[in-house]
A and B are shown apart, each in its own frame.
Chain A
């Protein structure tokens, strides 16, 4: 079975500051890792995913995540956040060959002016 732990339930940060949202996973089999973002009153949107190869993956809006196999982590970072980045961020894991995606509890990123 897989599990996902997001270490921070809320992360307040000032605009233009860097941010890191932490995610650790546990699995006895190969998994794929994802970050989703949910803006207020909306569904989830895929932000980025790690499949294989380079351990650093980037999204089109400036976020990046680094896969660390030895620490079983997949932390999300952005060097400079905007007010519009305020949202709930979910880390997720899916077993290779499996149907189910397991979501972490979520981290609410709150960007202050």
Chain B
């Protein structure tokens, strides 16, 4: 299995809703990432998990809450989002501790906040 699977593919939520994005991989990768990508822009790093522990939080607002329950799963919990948070949210994984290893990305969740 050489894929990163993200669900749902599309999500529309109101500003008072609580929702979660899910990411799963079975490649044995121990580093997982959340990126946010706005239209016609490069991906921006949000969070890095290494061996199920949060390693990097790029000063992301607390309305985004990551969780890594095990080595295969990564969640992003969303609460009280703003319309400007609408974007493509990408999950990626790679070998941990190996910086010359590229990332495997999922297809993303396209989030619209109304």
Describe B's contact surface by its main secondary structure.
strand
Q: Does A97 count as interface, using CB distance less than 8 angstroms?
A: yes
Tell me the B residues contacting A by CB distance below 8 Å.
4, 6, 31, 40-43, 45, 48, 50, 55-56, 90, 92, 99-100, 102-108, 110
B55 touches A42 (CB 8 A): no
| A44 CB contact (under 8 Å) in B6, B40, B43 | B43
Interface string of A6-50 (1 = CB under 8 A from B): 000000000000000000000000001010100001111110010
Question: A21 to B99, alpha carbons, bound, how many Å?
Answer: 24
Among all A-B residue pairs, the 3 with the closest Cβ atoms: A43-B105, A46-B102, A103-B42
Q: Which residues of B contact A41 (CB under 8 A)?
A: 107, 110
Residues of B within 8 A of A45 (CB): 105
- Name which of A49, A51, A100, A101 has the most chain B CB atoms within 10 A of its CB: A101
Residues of A within 8 A of B99 (CB): 32, 94-99
Complex contact B103–A46 (CB within 8 A) = yes
Across the interface, which residues of B come within 8 angstroms of A95, CB to CB? 99
Beyond A99-B31, A100-B45, whether A46 also contacts B104 by CB under 8 A is yes
User: What's the Cα separation between A41 and B55 when bound, in Å?
Assistant: 29
- The minimal Cβ–Cβ distance linking B112 to chain A, given in whole angstroms, is 14
A104 pairs with B42, CB closer than 8 A: yes
Contacts of A90 in B (CB 8 A): 42-43
Contact between chains at A100 and B48 (CB < 8 Å) = yes
Chain B hits for A34, CB < 8 A? 102
